[in-house]
Structure 1
Amino acid sequence: MTVFLTLFFCGSSCAQSYFNLTSTRDYYSIRFKLVSNLIVIPVEINGVELSFILDTGVNKPILFDLTSADSLELKNTEAIYIRGLGGGEAIKAYKARSNIFRIKKDVVNYNEDIYLILDQGINFSPRLGVPIHGIIGFELFRDFVVEINYARKRIRFYRPGSYKYRACRKCQTFPLDIIHDKPYIKATVDLNEQKDLEVKLLIDSGSSDALWLFRKEKENLVTPENHFEDFLGRGLSGSIYGDRARVEKLQIGQFELKEAKVAFPDSVSIQHLQNLNERDGSLGAEVLKRFNIVFDYGEGKLTLRRNRYFKQPFKYNMSGIELQHNGIRVVKELESGIRRGKTNESPGEGVEIRLDRFFKYSLHPAFEIAEIRDGSPAFIAGLQRGDIILTVNGKATYRRSLHEVKEMLNEKPGKKIRLKVEREGQHLDFTFALKKVL
């Protein structure tokens, strides 16, 4: 599963601004898209509608893809430098003040700051297969009680004090710590035959992974012997690498998740993170999506109720291929049609029917291998980064979404996969079998 995870730290003082409901109702409801476990919502900035990831791990909105939003007008800008996950250097950004943010009709902030990144390398749309222009988080959770129904893909923003907690046998409410504008929860893990290790986790809805832990030998948080090295994702400061494994059990109150995926990022990737001593890792969206959740920052509460995703198995990428969109390609298709006409050759048969065959050319996204895991079935078969996947088991990829193609490459252990790819203008065939990881 491709990971999307970024953390942001203010490069200058962050001015206070607030979201409000413009109507007299107690709440406003919107639908969202669930893409690689991430919540994507429409956000209108200064009259231009964009797509943002709802990220509990970010304290100010960040805009990083202007390719389809070049008409957006930003005023009162100043240059700053920011850091995030990854081993790279700080990157230049521009802070723009006094912007109007609107989510659909009723959720509005008339004086919002935003941080604009012009680095074209910071673009998560290709990996997710849908346009993503930025991330937004803390202020929405601070200014409302936020109810997220992952099963129905719906969010409700409640006025503070208006949310009514109902008796619910299948729910559990937890204390929620807000530290430096980010939410934390306590859980336990069974790891390396150590039982009930208590961990404090950042709740990070902007990570599509399940669980991250930081190596701390004194607390018995060490990588299991059964693990593999992998590319974990892309942060604001570059690529993130580390080890992947499984915990025997992840326990959040009454909720028990067995054989959950866990990643241990390397020290270079997290070197710029502040307050590392205040937490042991992150709880990502592959766990969060298994619940319907109520975030109540004002009261310091988090309520969980498991949903239909709860019992889904935690699957690692069995092919070893990470895909992304990379431009478009021309597809040549053979089509046929019926053409009717009249003929004078036979008075009794005045209609002529012809079956025409012709080619149609159309443009479709190119699905490119962005990363390939060393030692994986695809790697052993000879596939390479940059290969464009044309067909999977005889089925053309251009008729499918990025998510659908990923699922075709990750169905079940032992599944035989036949790929036709384009490499440097040549069409090549490869065959391998999916193999369960760990």
Structure 2
Amino acid sequence: MLLWCFPVLGTAQSYELPKGQKFQKIKFQLVNNLIILPIEVNGTELSFMLDTGVSQPILFNITDQDSIQINNVSEIKIKGLGEGEAIKALSSRGNSFKLKNIINRQQLLYVVIDKSLNFSTSLGIPVHGIIGYDLFRDFVVDINYGSKTIKFYDPEQYVYRRSKRAETLPLTLHRKKAYLDADVDIGDSDSIPVHLLVDTGSTDAIWLFEDEEIGIPTEHYDDYLGKGLNGDIFGKRTKVNNIRIGSFELFNAKAAFPDTRSFMAIKNFANRDGSVGGEVLKRFNIVFDYSRRQVTLRKNSMFKSPFHYNLSGITLQHDGVRMVSERISDGRGVVKTKEGSFGNVQILFEGQTRLSLVPEIVVSGIRAGSPAETAGLKEGDIILAVNGKSIHKYKIQEIMQMLDEKQGKKVKVLIERYNRDLLFSFVLEDLFKHKKP
């Protein structure tokens, strides 16, 4: 899981549509509940995550091979979620950001220098940065998770249409972040009102902060929750009887209680009780209207989809590339490449063999006491196949689905460890069975 939070730093000029254009429609990728948008920065096209939890655009994962001009640079330190120290970054003013016809020629930008801060290895696609408040400030933002499209409307031109299936709720804006009110039924008491950060940059469902009213349910387990600007975030994974947002109810919903140490450096939470992330938000088509301090929700086809749990206990990431040799029936001795992911170079030898440079997928983390750890899998193991399927043919999120398909399923994982191929098998169990404190 991934979640980032950044401090409020500076201001930026506004984004504008061409004169006479009412809105701009853009296709996005939905990867592990995250919205990934193509944005040109000073003429270079990059991929940005759309994150309502971030105040200013952040660039990271910039390598020696990237050719990106940034303007008016000075050095700063920033602090966000996680247990680590503040990190060095660059502040850059006067940058041009372009989303199709939308342009901001005076965008303030921050560049994180630490190369370990990288979404791409976990998501399986190149991601260069995150962007949030500036876009939501300047437009009415209509996100259709079902069609994977987003429309940015001129607020003065946007017309609300009445619908019995949609509901408009108030938003609170504080320090460039949006909050909404909801209710949770944890199970040990009556429904509890909660004030939640709206966080499209979190892959998770709902986070709650433990206090006198909000207690951790009896059935829970320790888990890795995500990555913050200043380090990994751990906590308790659990589920609640329901989450109610307006009149919409989600039952047996996934929830987590992050360790309080991860938030010690963050001040002024605006009486926040937690956050609502992408695994809940993707179940709606959403219209954010910061200018009117409101959000409109409408259920989509994913509303009743089951919540995803990491049943195996394995966390995966890309770690370079590896060579794969396959027998083929025909070939023409050509080199092929595929765009949009890692590796993907193929060399075909006529009538015999195909050599491919493919992403190397490794176990980057493993939950203590999980089925995978009990079976003998270890951090650093290279995944070769899952249930007999060679994993280089699949995206990283598809591999995770193979590993976590359903309770009671037997999973066989072929790995490479110290140049030896090893086969492990385990059964996916009920995560809340016998999980008493």
Matched, 1:367 2:365: no
- Other structure's SS at 2:8 match: coil
Amino acid at match of 1:390: L
Tell me if the contact between 1:50 and 1:69 (Cα under 8 Å) persists in the aligned partners: no
Aligned equivalents of 2:243, 2:190: Cα separation in 1: 10
1:28-427 correspondence to structure 2 within 5 Å: 28-67=24-63, 70-104=66-100, 106-217=101-212, 220-276=213-269, 278-337=271-330, 358-427=352-421
Amino acid at match of 1:419: V
Tell me if the contact between 2:324 and 2:358 (Cα under 8 Å) persists in the aligned partners: yes
Amino acid at match of 2:352: F
What is the deviation of 1:254? 0.6
* Equivalent in the alignment of 2:339: none
What is the deviation of 1:338? 8.8
Amino acid at match of 1:375: G
- Inter-CA distance 256–337: structure 2 relative to 1 (3 Å threshold): closer
Q: Identity percentage over the alignment?
A: 47
Tell me if the contact between 1:48 and 1:69 (Cα under 8 Å) persists in the aligned partners: no
Amino acid at match of 2:297: L
Tell me if the contact between 1:99 and 1:114 (Cα under 8 Å) persists in the aligned partners: yes
* Equivalent in the alignment of 2:3: 5
Aligned equivalents of 1:158, 1:267: Cα separation in 2: 38
Moved over 4 A (4+): none
What is the deviation of 1:277? 5.3
Aligned equivalents of 1:52, 1:357: Cα separation in 2: 42
Tell me if the contact between 2:70 and 2:92 (Cα under 8 Å) persists in the aligned partners: yes
CA RMSD of the aligned region, Å?
1.5
* Equivalent in the alignment of 2:344: none
- Other structure's SS at 1:317 match: coil
Give the structure-2-normalised TM-score. Answer: 0.93
- Other structure's SS at 2:260 match: coil
What is the deviation of 1:63? 0.2
Tell me if the contact between 1:10 and 1:82 (Cα under 8 Å) persists in the aligned partners: no
Aligned equivalents of 2:64, 2:402: Cα separation in 1: 29
> Alpha-carbon deviations, 1:192-213, whole Å to 9, x = none?
4212200000000000000001
Amino acid at match of 2:237: R
Aligned equivalents of 1:244, 1:369: Cα separation in 2: 20
Aligned equivalents of 1:175, 1:387: Cα separation in 2: 48
Tell me if the contact between 1:213 and 1:282 (Cα under 8 Å) persists in the aligned partners: yes
Amino acid at match of 1:165: Y
Larger deviation: 28-37 or 220-229?
Answer: 220-229
Radius of gyration: which is bigger?
A: 1
Tell me if the contact between 2:8 and 2:175 (Cα under 8 Å) persists in the aligned partners: no
Aligned equivalents of 1:40, 1:338: Cα separation in 2: 35
* Structure 1: runs of 5 or more not aligned: 340-355
* Structure 2: runs of 5 or more not aligned: 333-349, 433-437
Aligned equivalents of 1:8, 1:338: Cα separation in 2: 50
Amino acid at match of 1:420: L
What is the deviation of 1:317? 1.0
